[in-house]
Structures are given as structure tokens and as C-alpha cells.
Structure 1
Amino acid sequence: MAPRTPTETIERFNHAFVHHDPAALDGLIAEDCVMEAIQPAPDGARYEGREACLTFWLALAEDHSSQFEDEEIVVMGDRATISWRYRFGSGPADYVRGVNVMRVRDGQVVEALGYSKTGGEIPLAAE
């Protein structure tokens, strides 16, 4: 099997959250992965290593009480941005918009930095 391109890696990563498919994360996370979540304010939590990042992301992908919608995915070389909307309720204002700044190496995610447009706390299943 040929190694995944950065575009294939990012598309599969995003698919896990949009379609609540945690199995899509299998083999996508590098041992030295670093992830920064959007909460708690002001800097978010930092997760280091495959197991820590994967544990967070598996819980988020499995959470059927919320929904990610991608707005735009841009991949340039080993870098990518995923602009998203995260719905956490049924009300018209029960969502937040944000972006993940990603880095891929050898078909695996090595860095994911999350940023959002919010001033308060939002319910995230994994936190």
C-alpha cells in the first residue's frame, strides 16, 4: 500500500469527526503528535504523544450529541487548515466556528492546533 498523501490524511482525519467514525483515525496519528484543544481559555489544553491525542479525538468522534461540519479544507505541502463549525445543541446559536492548523508527516498527523471564535465555555465531550 502506498503512503497516504497529506490531502488523503487530512480528509480521512476530518471524516472521523464529520461522520462520527472513530475507526477512520486508525494509523493516522504519529507517535510524537502534539495537539492543542480550543479549551480551556485562554490557551487550551495541550496533549502530547499518540495515546493522549488519540484518546481525546476518539471521544470527540464518538460523540453523537454534537456535530462537526467542515467549511473549508486547504492542504499545502505538509500543512493544512480545516475551517469548521461545531454544533453542540439544537438551538440556532448552539455552535462555534473554528479552525485547526495541521501538520502531516509520512501520512500521519504530527500537529493539530485548534482555535475558535468563542468567548465562553462550550461543551466538548472529550474535555
Structure 2
Amino acid sequence: MTQELIMDRAANELSGQTAEIMRRFNDVFQRHDPSALAELVAEDCVIENTVPAPDGARYAGREACVGLWSAIATQAGTRFDVEETFVAGERATIRWRYFMADGNSIRGVNLMRVESGRIVEAMGYVKG
């Protein structure tokens, strides 16, 4: 087997693992059930949130990140539509639309990074 083929297989395997983590992450928000978050989020995870404008707040550590995402996932009357998830190796881009309880919506994107099977970084951006 050539070195290039071995590298391609490894990259495909890593992308597949990241895609599965993103599928499970998105399910948390689709189902309004944050119970899977603790096993998906790394101890040293960092989130750069979309609010407050213009730069958002920074959350560091599993407890803070799981707390933020749990609050978002369980907010009454809201929903996320996942428009696209693109995965390349340990990185993923999730394009979404968030519908608020008042009927308004915003579009945004999360830039995610995974290490050792857990989310270590999430940077959120919204259309202004």
C-alpha cells in the first residue's frame, strides 16, 4: 500500500468520526435533549458565542460549554434547522437557521473542531 493511500484512508476515517460527532451534536438541538453533550464535549472545550454583539462571549471548560449549549437546546418555543454540515478531517462547519419563540429567525454558522472524539472548539457567527 502506498503512503498516499494510507493517508487518504486515515483522513477519511477522521472525517467520518467528526461527521458522526457533529450528527450527534446537531441531534441535541433537534430533539431539545442535551443529555449527550457531556460525552461529546472535551474538558478543555472553548466556545466563542454569537452574543452579545459584536464579538460574543467566551466560554471555557466542559461545564461552561455544556451549560450554555444545554440552555440553548432546551429553550421553549425555539428550533434549529441545520442547513448544511461540511466536514474535513477534525474540522466541521455547520450552517443553520435558528427560529426564536417570537417567530423571528437568524442564520448563522458554527466553525467546530474535534480532537480525540470530542468537541474542543466552537466559534459561532450570525448574519447581521
TM range (shorter): 0.7 to 0.9
Given residue 53 of structure 1, which amino acid in structure 2 is its aligned partner? C
**1:116 aligned partner:** 126
TM-score (norm 2): 0.84
Q: 1:13·1:28 contact (CA, 8 Å) conserved in 2?
A: yes
Deviation at 1:25, TM superposition (A): 1.4
Q: 2:38·2:62 contact (CA, 8 Å) conserved in 1?
A: no
Deviation at 1:113, TM superposition (A): 0.2
Q: 2:87 aligns with which of 61, 75, 78?
A: 75
What CA deviation, in whole Å up to 9, does each residue of 1:20-76 have, x standing for no partner?
111121300000000011011110000011111111011111113211110000111
Alpha-carbon separation, structure 2, partners of 1:28 and 1:47: 16
TM-score (norm 1): 0.84
Larger Rg: 1 or 2?
2
What CA deviation, in whole Å up to 9, does each residue of 1:60-116 have, x standing for no partner?
11113211110000111000000000000354xx00000000000111000000000
**1:123 aligned partner:** none
**1:84 aligned partner:** 96
Can you give the 5+ residue segments of structure 2 that lack an aligned partner in the other structure? 1-15
The range that moved more, 99-108 or 4-13, is: 4-13
Alpha-carbon separation, structure 1, partners of 2:55 and 2:123: 10
SS in 2 for 1:5: helix
**1:26 aligned partner:** 38
Q: 2:108 aligns with which of 85, 98, 104?
A: 98
**Sequence identity of aligned pairs in percent?**
53
Number of residue pairs matched by the alignment? 113
The range that moved more, 104-113 or 17-26, is: 17-26
Alpha-carbon separation, structure 2, partners of 1:44 and 1:90: 22
Q: 1:48 aligns with which of 60, 63, 66?
A: 60
Cα RMSD for the two superposed structures: 1.3
Q: Which structure has the highest helix share of the two?
A: 2
Given residue 52 of structure 2, which amino acid in structure 1 is its aligned partner? P
Q: Post-superposition, which runs of at least 4 consecutive aligned residues in structure 1 deviate over 2 A?
A: none
